[in-house]
């Protein structure tokens, strides 16, 4: 069977999976004006349980695995997280009518990772019977934090330079004031890292990793977090589908270039990650399932931990630009196109 | 064993089932002044999960079944939904001191379906080992929507006639104003149907039906929605028991005829449905379990989707009349009397 | 193997159990400033499900057991509940700078029982394979209510005596007013008992006991309440860990004697209960697992049902004294020291 027909069959099959079925179902009922609401507190506990489960899986996996295996993929994850921001800085930000800070913030959100998208990929990999390292989910923070930190740092550097240039044309007095308090304009990296780690998403996942590493949580993992995972994800997918639909309007207010970026960027980032992952595959035996996960977390854009971090770190950026781009277009592209694409690629390479 | 002793033994046995046990338990702890509260957000997600599960069961069932089988029971469901409103219009509404719009709204709520009551019946049927068509739960919207729509249409027709009669005694000017905007008084049926379908209850159930029909949700169905169903229902039954007790007071404010109606109507509607169901049983082989389900959804009165729809559609009707009648008396009669009665009848007919 | 090394090995093993792992994890992430929050509505439903499950276990156990067995341990539970308040009244209350009402309220909270601590002990007993009577969890209210009632009564008696003494030095007029309304100063015991029984915690547990006794809830017990128990407890332990950390500050405001009391009292109460439990063990065959449970509920201090009851019953007591002492120190000591200590003691005695 040739690649295209295999890919198409697989794509249709994945559209019928509960994960994508509930996402599309959510978009459809939102489009039809459904009054269904999943309470905010339920979404929070579902996200907690999903990320704790992913963390526990990672922690138990790391405890039982060869740690040296993880070094190269983790280093690649950090590299991708930083690179994605610079790609947005030198492509999206250069397009007409696009504000530079908005573009940098969007890059940060597309570099950051969606726990739900990753969860969808893990579930689909298991449904397809594709093996992956148990610690692969623990690559999440290695890409997420560098991306958000880089975005905030790059945005602040840009804003500082702009200010200095403006000051050069301005009165001496203002320029003098600026020099009096240079520390106020210096970008502080550690508080940004700390804020990311203290957010609900990364807290839950890193707690899971730590509990998996240092305690024996197997009994609650097997009786609770693991069996409930797919069902809880189906509810979250429904919510994300409804949200994606409701935010499509936000995008109309900003430059149409965001649409182009939001469709192209997840696939581009995914291919970069796939290439780096394949290097790890041939040099250190990183599994093909792991390569898919690295590609999917590169494709995904954050819809849980990212927006509040960026809103606090780059207050001058327009949230409807980056949230609209990420949730309304980036996430459906990552889940609906990137996941089946990279799973299909891995299956083709694995079978060949 | 004669019918009565069989029915009584069965009734006592069903009082000990978790479903009725938690309902009665809820009424007792409410009567004893318990401060126990199940948060609103928890009730919402439980209702969502119960109705999604019922929908999934229906959708998977329809996908695997002969669609032509369903035509006759579905047609009977629509007939019963409409008939129930007209019964209330020409019995309850004619009683002394009963306001006509209140009676029509009450008829609408008794014609509409309670997802929880139906869920209780499905659970009891499974406990008793009585077979029923997997799509029988999907009869729900075929009775629910026509009942609510008919109630709102009949109420608006009544109010319009009353207004016209009042206008005949009134000044020419007012009568003239009325004729200038006749569309404002015309009853719009489609928005009412649309509103019912967009409500949280029918949204969740129809979403489940669609996902069951067009995707392959078996993995989340078997790992999540199905195993958690009984336990979640036990919590909802407790909540309904507590609510039923707390709303008994509401009924004291309105005519005592509501009490008579609320006791008689569920049984009468159930018997009409049982009769029609038996016609389907002998002509098209509709199962006895299916006949019970048709009877129970006829007996049941809505406590989730109905009240907000009626409040919006017939704003002049007194909510404490119809909600009090339904939740405080109608639902306990449907669950405590109608369900065991029709299960007992089905077992007697099935065994004979 | 000697006792100490056995105890230490067991202690380390229990620190790795999910129960204690999540508690310590909660304290650590709170200390690191995590923004993770488990919504209040989720905590409520978890507490409801945990206590209903404990009640169901007790009720089903009592239904299947010899009721006469339970008389002696239940009588000891009542005795301990009352005794604990008098210990606080004549030790903590006599220490310098400690306000008497605060000390009595603290005694009440340490005499009351923590459903979560008991749940942790039941889980650890099962993990260790130590047998206990199924009704042992139903000893909970026999200690909880007498402790809270005794605290409120003793506090009101103290406040009344103080008032009368103050009145003797005061004007005739005030003394005269007092005599006009003597009933207002009399301590009413029954409303206090009623309030405790109507609280969410005891309502849920006693409902579970009643449903276990009078209905057949085995199907929902086995499909829902029992399998979800450990996982839900892990979430609650995380919350309690975070709360314990956040309330450490509250204790700095009050006398340091609370720290001494909060460390010593759980162990002292536990040893009294262990001694009484061993009497029941040798006279009526009360299991060693049951002795551990009696000791743990004596060691535990209430963090769910107790505080609101005491706040209503002894409004002049400072909540940050008794809640801080109980949650920040008493509960970690009960879970981290008392549970492994009494399990170790029982294993040593059982194996010897």
ipTM: 0.71
Q: What is the pLDDT of residue B247?
A: 64
At A200 the pLDDT is 79
Note whether A215 contacts C16, CB cutoff 8 Å.
yes
Interface check for C127 against chain A (CB to CB < 8 A): the answer is yes
- The answer to whether C262 and C329 are in contact (CB under 8 A) is yes
Sign of CA dihedral A98, A102, A108, A112: negative
What is the reported pLDDT for B178? 46
* Whole-number Å distance between alpha carbons of B227 and B209: 18
- Residue by residue, DSSP assigns B67-83 as GGGGHHHHHHHHHHHHH
DSSP B243-283: HHHHTHHHHHTS-THHHHHHHHHHHHHHHHHHHHHHHHHHH
pLDDT of B273 reads 96
Chain A CB contacts of B217 below 8 Å: 18, 21, 234
Cβ separation of C232 and A215 shorter than 8 Å? no
| Banded model confidence at residue C266, pLDDT cuts 50, 70, 90 | very high
Q: What is the pLDDT of residue B255?
A: 62
User: What is the model's pLDDT at position C283?
Assistant: 92
Alpha-helical segments (H) within C253-318: 257-284, 288-299, 306-313
pLDDT at B175: 47
A310-324, B111-125, B241-255: range with highest mean pLDDT: B111-125
Q: Is C187 within 8 Å of chain A by CB?
A: no
Give the nearest partner residue to C18 out of A40, A45, A220, using CB atoms: A220
> Judged by CB atoms within 8 Å, which residues 267-286 of A form the interface with B?
none
pLDDT of residue B276: 96
> Is residue B350 over pLDDT 50?
yes
pLDDT at A178 over 70: no
Q: What is the mean pLDDT of chain B?
A: 82
Q: What does the mean pLDDT of chain A come to?
A: 82
- The answer to which of A302-316, B97-111, B257-271, C47-61 has the lowest mean pLDDT is A302-316
The predicted structure's pLDDT at residue A183: 45
A104-113, A293-302, C7-16: least confident range = C7-16
- The predicted-structure confidence for B71-110, as pLDDT tens digits, reads as follows 899 999 999 999 999 999 999 998 887 889 999 999 999 9
Average pLDDT over residues A176-181: 47
pLDDT of residue C192: 64
**Residue A219 near chain C (CB below 8 Å):** yes
Which residues of chain B have a CB within 8 Å of the CB of A17?
215-216
Out of A29, A35, A230, the one facing B224 most closely (by C-beta) is A230
How sure is the predictor about C182, in pLDDT bands with cuts at 50, 70 and 90? Answer: very low
Q: Fill in the DSSP letter of residue A250.
A: G
As a whole number, mean pLDDT of residues A323-347 equals 85
Q: Quick one: pLDDT at residue B187? A: 52
Please, what is the Cα angle at C208 between C203 and C212, to 5 degrees?
150
Select from B231, B235, B241 the residue whose CB has the most chain C CBs within 10 Å, as the one to mutate to test that interface: B231
pLDDT surpassing 90 at residue B281: yes
Q: How confident is the model at residue B211 (pLDDT cuts 50, 70, 90)?
A: very high
pLDDT of residue A127: 86
Show the tokens assigned to A308. Answer: 């509040």
HSE on the CB side for C129, CA within 13 Å? 2
Residue, of C279 and C15, whose pLDDT is higher = C279
What digits encode the pLDDT tens for the residues A131-142?
Answer: 999 888 888 888
Q: How confident is the model at residue B115 (pLDDT cuts 50, 70, 90)?
A: confident
pLDDT per residue over B119-157, tens digit each?
889 988 988 889 999 888 888 888 888 888 888 888 888
Average confidence (pLDDT) over A89-111: 90
User: Is the confidence at residue C173, as pLDDT, over 80?
Assistant: no
Q: Which residue of B has its CA nearest to C56?
A: B18
Confidence band of C8 (pLDDT split at 50, 70, 90): low
Higher pLDDT, residue C252 or A337: A337
Question: Averaged over B201-219, what is the pLDDT?
Answer: 86
Please say if the pLDDT value at position A204 is more than 70.
Answer: yes
C231 interaction partners in chain A (CB closer than 8 Å): 220, 223-225, 228
pLDDT attached to residue A315: 76
B51 vs A247, more confident:
B51
pLDDT, tens digit, 9 for 90 and up, residues C23-73? 889 889 999 999 899 999 998 899 889 888 888 887 887 787 667 788 899
Q: Please, are residues C136 and C294 in contact by the beta-carbon 8 Å criterion? A: yes
In total, the C-beta contacts within 8 angstroms joining chain B to chain C are 80
Q: How confident is the model at residue A251 (pLDDT cuts 50, 70, 90)?
A: low
Q: What is the pLDDT of residue A247?
A: 64
Partners of residue C224 in chain B, C-beta under 8 Å? 227-228, 230-232, 234
Give whichever of A43-47, A318-322, C239-243 has the largest mean pLDDT. A43-47
The residue ranking higher by pLDDT, B281 or C127, is B281
Average pLDDT over residues B294-322: 79
User: What per-residue string of b and e applies to A296-307 under the rule 16 or more CB within 10 Å gives b?
Assistant: bbbbbbbbbbbb
Instruction: Mean pLDDT check: name the lowest of A229-233, B165-169, C19-23.
Output: B165-169
The confidence score (pLDDT) of residue B221 equals: 93
Tell me: pLDDT of A51 over 90: no
Residue B7 confidence (pLDDT) above 60: no
pLDDT exceeds cutoff 90 at A299 = yes
Instruction: Specify the 3-state DSSP secondary structure of B215.
Output: coil
pLDDT at C184: 47
Q: Give the number of A-C residue pairs with CB atoms closer than 8 Å.
A: 81
What pLDDT does residue A39 have?
A: 93
Nearest to C141 by CA among C51, C64, C214: C51
pLDDT at A103 over 90: yes
> Considering chain B, what percentage of its residues have pLDDT values greater than 90?
31
With an 8 Å Cβ cutoff, is B346 touching chain A?
no
Residue with structure tokens 């004619």?
A: B94
List the 45-104 stretch of C: residues with Cβ below 8 A of B: 45, 48-49
Distance between C124 CA and the closest CA of chain B, angstroms: 25
Mean pLDDT within A291-304: 89
Q: Residue A98: pLDDT above 70?
A: yes
pLDDT of C200 reads 79
Comparing alpha-carbon positions, the chain C residue that sits nearest to B126 is C219
pLDDT at C13: 59
B305 Cβ neighbours under 8 A, 6+ residues apart = B112, B115, B144, B148, B196, B199, B200, B201, B202
Burial class (CB in 10 A: 0-12, 13-18, 19+), A21: buried
> Cβ(C133)–Cβ(C286) under 8 Å?
yes
Average pLDDT over residues A273-280: 95
In A, which residues are within 8 Å of C33 by CB distance? 194, 198
- Residue A310 CB partners (closer than 8 Å, separation 6+): A105, A108, A109, A148, A151, A152, A317, A319, A322
Note whether A15 contacts B215, CB cutoff 8 Å.
yes
Neighbours of chain C (3+ CB pairs under 8 A): A, B
Closest CA to B194 of B203, B184, B186: B203
Which tens digits make up the pLDDT trace of C268-281? 999 999 999 999 99
Does residue A17 have a pLDDT over 80?
A: no
Any A CB within 8 A of C22 CB: yes
Nearest chain C Cα distance for residue A48, angstroms: 8
Site from A224, A228, A307 to mutate, C interface, most C CB atoms within 10 angstroms: A224
Residues on chain B touching C220 (C-beta within 8 angstroms): 18, 230-231, 234
CATH code of the domain occupying A2-34+70-114+138-198+238-349: 1.20.1530
Say which residue the tokens 């990364």 belong to.
A202
DSSP state string for B330-350: IHHHIIIIIHHHHHHHHHHHH
* Tokens encoding B239: 């909540």
Q: Is A270:A114 a contact under the CB 8 Å cutoff?
A: no
Chains touching B (at least 3 CB pairs under 8 A) are A, C
Give the best residue of A23, A234, A238 to mutate against chain B (max B CB count within 10 A).
Answer: A234
Q: Which residues of B touch A10 (CB under 8 A)?
A: none
Higher pLDDT, A64 or A250: A64
Whether the CB of B238 is below 8 Å from some CB of chain C: the reply is: yes
Tally C-beta pairs within 8 A across A and B. Answer: 80
In tens, the pLDDT along B167-190 reads 776 655 544 444 444 444 455 667
**Angstrom distances, CA of residue B230 to CA of B225, C140, C208:** 10, 27, 16
Average pLDDT over residues B312-335: 78
Q: What six digits make up the tokens of B338? A: 């109608």
> Which residues of chain B neighbour C207 with C-beta distances below 8 Å?
25, 29, 34, 36, 238
pLDDT at C188: 60
B217 touches chain A (CB under 8 A): yes
B chain contacts of residue C210, beta-carbon cutoff 8 Å: 25, 28
Whole-number pLDDT of residue C4: 56
Provide, rounded to the nearest whole percent, the portion of chain C with pLDDT above 90. Answer: 32
Local confidence band at A29 (pLDDT 50, 70, 90 cut-offs): very high
A173 vs B: CB within 8 A: no
């Amino acid at each position: 069977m040739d690649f295209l027909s295999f890919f198409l069959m697989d794509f249709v099959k994945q559209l019928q999976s509960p994960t994508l079925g509930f996402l599309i179902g959510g978009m459809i009922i939102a489009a039809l004006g459904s009054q269904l609401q999943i309470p905010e507190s339920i979404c929070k506990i579902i996200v907690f349980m999903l990320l704790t489960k992913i963390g526990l899986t990672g922690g138990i996996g790391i405890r039982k695995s060869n740690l040296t295996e993880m070094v190269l993929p983790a280093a690649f994850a950090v590299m991708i997280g930083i690179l994605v921001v610079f790609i947005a800085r030198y492509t999206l930000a250069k397009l007409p009518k696009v504000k530079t800070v908005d573009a940098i913030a969007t890059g940060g959100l597309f570099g950051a990772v969606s726990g739900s998208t990753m969860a969808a990929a893990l579930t689909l990999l298991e449904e397809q019977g594709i093996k992956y390292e148990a610690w692969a989910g623990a690559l999440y923070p290695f890409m997420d934090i560098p991306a958000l930190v880089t975005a905030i740092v790059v945005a602040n550097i840009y804003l500082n330079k702009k200010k200095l240039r403006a000051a050069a044309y301005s009165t001496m007095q203002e320029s003098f004031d600026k020099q009096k308090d240079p520390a106020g304009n210096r970008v502080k990296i550690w508080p940004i890292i700390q804020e990311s780690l203290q957010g609900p998403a990364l807290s839950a996942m890193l707690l899971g990793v730590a509990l998996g590493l240092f305690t024996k949580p197997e009994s609650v993992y097997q009786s609770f977090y693991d069996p409930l995972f797919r069902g809880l994800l189906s509810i979250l997918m429904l919510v994300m589908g409804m949200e994606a639909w409701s935010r499509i309007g936000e995008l109309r207010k900003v430059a149409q270039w965001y649409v182009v970026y939001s469709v192209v960027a997840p696939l581009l980032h995914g291919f970069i990650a796939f290439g780096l992952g394949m290097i790890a595959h041939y040099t250190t035996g990183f599994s093909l399932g792991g390569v898919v996960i690295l590609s999917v977390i590169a494709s995904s854009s954050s819809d849980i931990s990212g927006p509040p971090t960026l809103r606090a770190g780059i207050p001058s950026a327009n949230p409807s630009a980056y949230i609209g781009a990420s949730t309304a277009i980036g996430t459906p592209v990552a889940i609906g196109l990137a996941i089946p694409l990279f799973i299909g690629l891995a299956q083709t390479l694995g079978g060949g």
